[in-house]
């Protein structure tokens, strides 16, 4: 693109174009590092197999007896957990780029500054969409099905990808705030494990201690899981059936995604600008 053509492009168009280029750059690295793809899919598959066949008979679903009910209950939790763990890919990727000096090199190029973060987020989102496809195949193998039609299932997958998009902005803030990829790997996941397990992802909230039930039902991960179960037509028991999370799981999940993006996307852009301004 000539300099005259570049001046005719609007700032938004330039940011989108530059972001797409960097997203493609991030996706092209995947075939060169197949171990990243393998490890990204092995962990959720292990969770599916362990919980479905080891813990499935030991965790009753109120109102839905049998091991098959738990497998259908489980898969939305696995989907949401896998999308939440997208935090690590963004945090480690950005921290690695910073440690190698790539961020400084990008800064010296005539490109939109926001493209560095948006390219990382979009590339990781596409990667996580592929991982989710693998999870769907694994779910069908263990007996999971959706029962509310294909369009509702697509809506559930769209919510999962929106949640992954929101969590990638959280990962971007972490990756730009830590000292290196090793620290980013720990900082990106250590707080997610209690958040995931203190939810309805693996255990129905009626089975939790009464003190923890409201906390679990208002957990953002619980909202995503409940919305997916509602749209898939899978078992979704609530400790408080008349509560807002039980009556409006889809709306609450969208509100949580909007809040996370609204808070962490501006923080990521501000952190990037302050980092590159040094």
pLDDT per residue as tens digits for the range 33-65: 666 667 777 878 888 888 888 777 778 888 887
Q: At what angle do helices 67-84 and 220-232 cross, to 10 degrees?
A: 130
156: left (phi over 0), alpha (psi -120 to 50) or beta: alpha
CB-based contacts of 144: which residues, under 8 Å, 6+ apart?
A: 71, 72, 74, 75, 234
pLDDT of residue 55: 75
Helices (H), 65-113: 67-84, 86-99, 102-108
**Confidence (pLDDT) at 250:** 96
Q: Give the C-alpha distances (Å, rounded to integers) separating 120 from 97, 176, 225.
A: 10, 12, 25
> What is the reported pLDDT for 169?
92
- Strand, coil or helix: 257: helix
**Terminal CA-CA length for the chain:** 30
275/98 Cα distance (integer angstroms): 10
pTM: 0.86
pLDDT tens-place string over residues 202-238: 989 998 899 999 999 999 999 999 999 999 999 989 9
Structure tokens at 154: 């697509």
Q: Tell me how far apart the alpha carbons of residues 118 and 169 are, in angstroms, rounded to a whole number.
A: 9
For the segment 170-175, the average pLDDT, to the nearest whole number, is 89
DSSP state of 40: H
């Amino acid at each position: 693109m000539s300099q005259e053509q570049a001046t005719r492009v609007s700032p938004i168009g330039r940011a989108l174009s530059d972001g797409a280029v960097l997203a493609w750059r991030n996706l092209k690295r995947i075939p060169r590092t197949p171990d990243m793809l393998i490890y990204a899919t092995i962990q959720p598959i292990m969770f599916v197999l362990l919980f479905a066949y080891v813990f499935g008979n030991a965790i009753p679903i109120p109102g839905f007896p049998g091991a098959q009910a738990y497998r259908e209950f489980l898969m939305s939790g696995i989907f949401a957990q896998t999308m939440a763990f997208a935090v690590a890919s963004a945090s480690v990727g950005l921290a690695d780029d910073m440690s190698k000096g790539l961020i400084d090199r990008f800064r010296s190029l005539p490109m939109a500054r926001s493209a560095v973060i948006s390219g990382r987020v979009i590339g990781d989102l596409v990667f996580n969409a592929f991982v989710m496809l693998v999870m769907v195949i694994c779910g069908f193998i263990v007996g999971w099905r959706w029962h509310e039609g294909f369009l509702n299932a697509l809506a559930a997958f769209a919510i999962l990808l929106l949640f992954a998009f929101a969590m990638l902005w959280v990962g971007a803030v972490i990756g730009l705030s830590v000292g290196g990829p090793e620290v980013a790997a720990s900082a990106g996941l250590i707080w997610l494990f209690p958040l995931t397990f203190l939810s309805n992802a693996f255990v129905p909230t009626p089975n939790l201690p009464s003190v923890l039930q409201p906390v679990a039902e208002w957990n953002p991960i619980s909202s995503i899981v409940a919305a997916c179960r509602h749209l898939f037509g899978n078992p979704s028991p609530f400790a408080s059936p008349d509560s807002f999370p039980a009556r409006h799981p889809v709306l609450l999940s969208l509100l949580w995604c909007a809040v996370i993006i609204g808070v962490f996307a501006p923080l990521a852009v501000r952190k990037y600008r302050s980092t590159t301004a040094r």
